[in-house]
Copies of this chain bind each other. A is one copy, B any other.
Amino acid sequence: MEAKAIVKRLTKYRASLVNFKELGFKTIYSTNLGESVGESPEQVRKDFSRFSLKGNKKAGYEIDPLLKSINYVLGKNIIQKIIVVGMGNIGKAFIQYKWFSSQNVSIIAAFDIDPSKHNKKMGLHVHPLSQLKDIIHGHNIQIAVIATPDSAAQEICDRLVAYGVRAILNFAPVVLKVPDEIIVHNLDLVNEINSMIYYVNNHKLYSL
């Protein structure tokens, strides 16, 4: 389950490599790449080794082919279509977040239970929940975002899974029950703040 870590690092390497490329770099050493993302050079090499990403002794890694390989590993060569359920403040902020388009992620539909929200907003259509099934099937959606109130989250989750969604990013502060093969990532804002409060109050204990 904590192979999560290596994937998160790969996505960070990727973002950093794009930056270096834009700055005109052709190659990069594990030392510099590691520093740019806050990892050790050994960690970088180990991670690359895990996916058979090869560099050149003495010359480091060629950015172009490396990026190509990482994109392949991460599945970033194709545009990923996702949907967002729940058009509250967080859902709205999510669909307006500008970075997705440059990252081959396309938010193709939003959903809300409230009829007053069913219209075109900011270039994205907000659908009633009754269209959830058709749109997921029609676009073969694999990834969905839940930004509903917590009371609705599990029910929406069940429907998403039933319609074929395989990964869910969940903003609702609940533990979603899903089959083993479904991926759930939780972004619980209150939980994040709470854990920071712990560290602020226990600076000496930070190492424990």
Contact = CB atoms under 8 A, between A and B. Distances in A.
A58 interface: no
Interface of A: 3-4, 7-8, 10-12, 14-15, 36-38, 73-76, 80, 82, 88-90, 92-94, 96-97, 99-100, 103, 105, 142-143, 166-167, 169, 173, 175, 181, 183, 185, 187, 189-203, 206-208
Given A200-B166, A203-B166, A191 B80 contact: no
A136 B68 CA distance: 45
A146 to B, nearest CB: 13
Q: Chain A interface secondary structure, helix, strand, loop or mixed?
A: helix
Count of chain copies: 2
A90 to B, nearest CB: 5
Nearest to A202: B75
Most buried by B among A73, A93, A169, A202: A93
Nearest to A195: B7
11 contacts: A11-B194, A11-B198, A74-B198, A100-B189, A105-B193, A105-B194, A143-B193, A143-B200, A166-B200, A167-B199, A185-B192
Nearest to A144: B196
Given A14-B194, A80-B200, A90-B93, 13 more contacts: A8-B191, A15-B191, A36-B175, A38-B175, A80-B193, A89-B97, A92-B93, A93-B93, A94-B189, A103-B190, A143-B193, A166-B199, A181-B203
Nearest to A6: B208
